[in-house]
Structure 1
Amino acid sequence: MDTEQKPLPAGYHNVAPNMLATIVTCLEMTTRPAPRPNPPSDGLTVERWNAPALADYRALYRRVGEDWLWVSRAVMDDEKLRVIIEDPAVEIYALMRNGEKLGLLELDFREGGQCELAFFGLDQSLFGSGAGRILMNVAIDTAWEKPISRFWVHTCHLDHPAALAFYQRSGFKPYKRMVEIFEDPRQTGKLRPDAAPHFPVLTAE
């Protein structure tokens, strides 16, 4: 994600009807932030999810991410995905209530000295409940228990509208902005056609 590319010139840039364009913001923290208190748990727990089955992983990934157009892990080759989620340097956690998985946290320590907050998402039934703070506190504590000097994440404007501010309140500071253009997965059948209704599908004239 931290690749250097030539900046786009000022002005408007047409995007094909079958493509999506989004503004990606990269954020990082280089020291552990002051702790923030957890809200009442209301029966929620965060549990390590070791080597999840691909179908179970993808089901939770879709549950928390499909309406924000998360697509990468949904369509990734099985063996490539298995290598990632079974890597001992990748830690996956599920936010649980009564045995049901309602949130996904994935921490990637594969690059020495740093941790990427690779995926962070909640079932929509938990929005506004404080569950995000519970999950983020686990993310921060777990990341900084390791010998890292940098914890980073990227988000985009296709994500929940409160995501960027939430990351900043959690101690991440923005350091780079990029434009990403990719094929609209709703037009290829990779995601359901009515996903992300806040971001309309375009059709060619």
Structure 2
Amino acid sequence: MRETVTYLEMTSPDDLVPATPRPLTLTPATPGTHRALNLRIGTPYRWGTVTFSEPQWAAYLHDPDAHAYVITSGAENAGLARYALAFSEVEVTTFGLVPEFVGRGLGAYALTLTLQKAWSFSPRRVWLHTSTLDHPNALPNYRARGLRPFRTETRQRDAL
């Protein structure tokens, strides 16, 4: 299948256009929770992590340059945000809500929290990518929060 990948960035925390606050917080993820949420969120969108082997998961979950946070709504795990820190940049490598929280109007504020946390690492740039295989609201939400496209590419993706 073909997909178009859009890469977006912010170069200043002032670029962030915050969404209306919702009852969400970010808490550090344990490896087990990180993996479980990644699979629940990513499977419908064919994320590459869905097909990881055990050694790949071990490396991914214990990467010293990555930080993962659970997006929580009260006592419930609503989503996941993961960051890779490199060369004074932060890449948001994972952002998403679990299926039962999709469609509740929480994505914009969840992204606001995710981007605020990214800027707390004091990078010169925050960036991420999305694909036409992701949720249809992903790209509009990213743009509404102030992320700007800097590259697109179309590629062939193997079906899972």
TM-score norm. by structure 2 comes to: 0.87
1:49 equivalent to 2:24? Answer no
Unmatched tracts of structure 2, length 5 or more:
none
Structure 1 residues 66, 101: CA separation in 2 closer, same or farther (over 3 Å shift)? Answer: same
Give % identity.
28
Separation in 2, partners of 1:75, 1:170: 30
Separation in 2, partners of 1:106, 1:143: 9
Equivalence map 1:7-86=2 (5 Å): 20-32=1-13, 33-34=15-16, 36-41=18-23, 44-50=24-30, 52-53=31-32, 56-70=33-47, 72-86=48-62
Deviation for aligned residue 1:37: 4.5
Structure 1 residues 98, 40: CA separation in 2 closer, same or farther (over 3 Å shift)? Answer: closer
Higher relative contact order by CA 8 Å / sep ≥ 6: 1 or 2? Answer: 2
Contact 2:4–2:131, Cα closer than 8 Å, also in 1: yes
Structure 1 residues 119, 176: CA separation in 2 closer, same or farther (over 3 Å shift)? Answer: same
What amino acid is aligned across from residue 11 of structure 2 in structure 1? T
**105, 118, 141: which is aligned to 1:166?**
141
Unmatched tracts of structure 1, length 5 or more:
1-19, 186-205
Equivalence map 1:110-189=2 (5 Å): 111-185=86-160
RMSD between aligned residues: 1.9
Deviation for aligned residue 1:90: 0.7
- List 4+ stretches of structure 1 deviating above 6 A: none
Q: Which protein is richer in helix relative to its size? A: 2
TM-score norm. by structure 1 comes to: 0.70
Per the alignment, residue 107 of structure 1 pairs with 83
Q: Secondary structure at the match of 2:81?
A: strand
